[in-house]
């Protein structure tokens, strides 16, 4: 049983498919527990442009079958509708993929930093749900370290743009100078905060924040120095008065309907209204694209900006790939050592059993010796066994491979019963030496 990952992301699936898995993202700890109940371990990673299921499986087919049953039985999601867009990786390929995710090489915006925190949160949820143990905990701890290495040892994250910032860039391309625009951000989570900061950075002064939890909106507005706060009940009025609307909530339903936008544009004349939908599932009804002077962009519209960003960072991405190769190699060494541990434990257990039995036989014949002499002989037997095992154990830990492990188990009969007799190659028992 090894690490496996089954998932879909922005590279393999359209937005409509990503939205199908949004229900899983609203119940991460529950999803962790339910999937782990089938496989023993699980971590579910859900972001705006990916949903991935990390688990333990025999192979990719086994992993996909388990995920398919889990999604269909627990969430009513037909796996057949996802199958054309699904990717799956196994063992070191799965480890390599996770490391690429944490280093943002698999992100829409190459170099963005949000994904490292998202992986940390997903792993934390799995730990809280008690759905992760070795080897998954080892892999995720290492993945988070690899993500940090990539940012400290390369410039992959230097002046990187977030998805929210890319949306603001898209608004500038469409509307031109937006410094005098009235902007509305709906959602005060991480995406909302990044969008608000991006708007401020390009010179937007009139900024209003709304959130279903009012306290978070007030907190974010305080960080933005001069931003306004409105309750969600005033959404229609806020739409009427805005030029740019960035929506990034966790709602499973449309927060901004066609009816609400129709009302907002009725008295605007030719003044455009630009919507940026950062959310998955979408916050804005896509039907509003048909309205006059209304522009709508979602994550599927970021390809051009993402491509330019990737070209600028291609050289740093190559340096990150080298780090990832090194870390995958380290993982494989750890995994190989992990496989050696049971064999070494069996060898140690067998050797100790033989030592104790032969020591007891010998001391029966030396009853005339003092207890102190018996202790000396016992100490000698322990030292002798340890010295005989030292070289093979050290070599196996440092350079051992599966063939070496198999040979050692065969040579020492670690998979069979040890009856105490010495056996020659013909299988005939030889008498014990007196």
- pLDDT-based confidence at 416, cuts 50/70/90? low
Q: Is 193 helix (H, G, I), strand (E, B) or coil?
A: helix
Distance CA 116, CA 156 (A): 13
CA-nearest of 253, 11, 216 to 109 is: 11
Mind listing the pLDDT tens digit for each residue in 211-240?
989 899 999 999 888 899 999 999 999 999
pTM of structure: 0.77
Mind listing the pLDDT tens digit for each residue in 353-368?
999 999 999 998 998 9
CA-nearest of 279, 277, 204, 211 to 243 is: 204
The two structure tokens encoding residue 345:
């434990």
Between CA 270 and CA 15, with CA 248 as vertex, the angle to 5 degrees is 90
Mind listing the pLDDT tens digit for each residue in 328-353?
999 988 887 777 778 888 888 888 99
Residue 433 has pLDDT above 60, yes or no: no
Bridge partners of 311, per DSSP, are: none
- Report the mean per-residue pLDDT for the chain: 88
- pLDDT-based confidence at 246, cuts 50/70/90? very high
Distance CA 433, CA 66 (A): 57
**Stretch 92-106: mean pLDDT:** 96
Please state which of the ranges 79-83, 160-164, 321-325 shows the lowest mean pLDDT.
160-164
CA-CA distances (angstroms) from residue 48 to 2, 191, 249, 331? Answer: 27, 10, 11, 28
CA-nearest of 192, 202, 181 to 250 is: 192
**Stretch 240-266: mean pLDDT:** 92
**Stretch 23-39: mean pLDDT:** 92
Q: Report residue 11 CA to chain centroid gap.
A: 17
- pLDDT-based confidence at 398, cuts 50/70/90? low
In the residue annotation, 48 being an active-site residue is answered as yes
DSSP character string of 241-270: H-SEEEE----SS-SB-HHHHHHHHTTTTT
Domains along the chain? 2-160+313-332 (3.30.460.30), 163-301 (3.40.50.720)
DSSP 8-state symbol, 1 = -
Mind listing the pLDDT tens digit for each residue in 148-195?
999 999 999 887 678 888 888 888 888 888 999 999 999 998 888 988
The two structure tokens encoding residue 215:
């306290």
The two structure tokens encoding residue 169:
């860039």
Between CA 152 and CA 141, with CA 337 as vertex, the angle to 5 degrees is 35
- Please pick, among 28, 44, 48, 115, the residue that the annotation labels catalytic: 48
Distance CA 212, CA 191 (A): 15
The answer to whether 99 and 146 are in contact (CB under 8 A) is yes
CA-nearest of 377, 329, 274, 259 to 95 is: 329
Distance CA 306, CA 63 (A): 31
């Amino acid at each position: 049983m090894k690490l496996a990952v089954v998932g879909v992301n922005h590279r393999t699936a359209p937005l409509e498919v990503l939205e199908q898995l949004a229900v899983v993202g609203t119940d991460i700890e529950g999803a962790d527990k339910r999937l782990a109940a089938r496989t023993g371990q699980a971590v579910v990673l859900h972001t705006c442009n990916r949903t991935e299921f990390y688990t333990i499986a025999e192979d990719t087919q086994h992993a996909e079958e388990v995920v398919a049953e889990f999604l269909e039985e627990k969430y009513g999601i037909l796996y057949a509708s996802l199958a054309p867009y699904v990717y799956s990786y196994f063992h070191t390929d799965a480890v390599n993929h996770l490391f690429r995710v944490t280093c943002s090489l698999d992100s829409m915006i190459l170099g963005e930093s949000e994904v490292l925190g998202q992986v940390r949160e997903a792993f934390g949820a799995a730990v809280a749900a008690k759905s992760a143990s070795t080897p998954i905990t080892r892999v995720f701890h290492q993945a988070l370290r690899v993500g940090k290495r990539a940012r400290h040892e390369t410039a992959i994250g230097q002046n990187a743009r977030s998805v929210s910032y890319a949306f603001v860039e898209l608004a500038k391309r469409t509307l031109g100078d937006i410094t005098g625009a009235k902007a509305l951000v709906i959602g005060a989570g991480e995406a909302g905060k990044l969008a608000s900061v991006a708007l401020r950075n390009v010179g937007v002064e009139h900024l209003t924040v709304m959130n279903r939890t009012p306290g978070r909106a007030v907190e974010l507005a305080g960080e933005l120095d001069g931003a306004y706060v409105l309750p969600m009940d005033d959404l229609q009025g806020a739409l009427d008065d805005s030029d740019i609307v960035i929506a990034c909530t966790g709602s499973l339903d449309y927060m901004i309907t066609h009816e609400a936008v129709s009302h907002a544009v009725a008295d605007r004349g030719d003044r455009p209204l630009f919507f940026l939908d950062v959310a998955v599932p979408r916050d804005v009804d896509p039907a509003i694209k048909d309205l006059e002077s209304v522009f709508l962009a979602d994550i599927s519209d970021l390809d051009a900006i993402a491509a330019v960003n990737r070209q600028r960072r291609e050289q740093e991405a190559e340096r990150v790939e080298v780090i990832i190769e090194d870390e995958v190699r380290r993982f494989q060494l750890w995994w190989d050592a992990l496989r050696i541990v049971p064999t070494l434990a069996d060898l140690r257990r067998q050797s100790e059993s033989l030592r104790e039995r032969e020591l007891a036989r010998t001391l029966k014949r030396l009853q005339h010796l003092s207890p102190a002499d018996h202790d000396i002989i016992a100490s000698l037997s322990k030292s002798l066994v340890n010295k005989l095992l030292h070289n093979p154990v050290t070599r196996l830990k440092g350079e051992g491979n599966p063939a070496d492990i198999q040979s050692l188990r065969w040579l020492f009969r670690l998979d069979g019963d040890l009856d105490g007799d010495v056996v020659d190659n013909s299988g005939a028992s030889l008498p014990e030496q007196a």
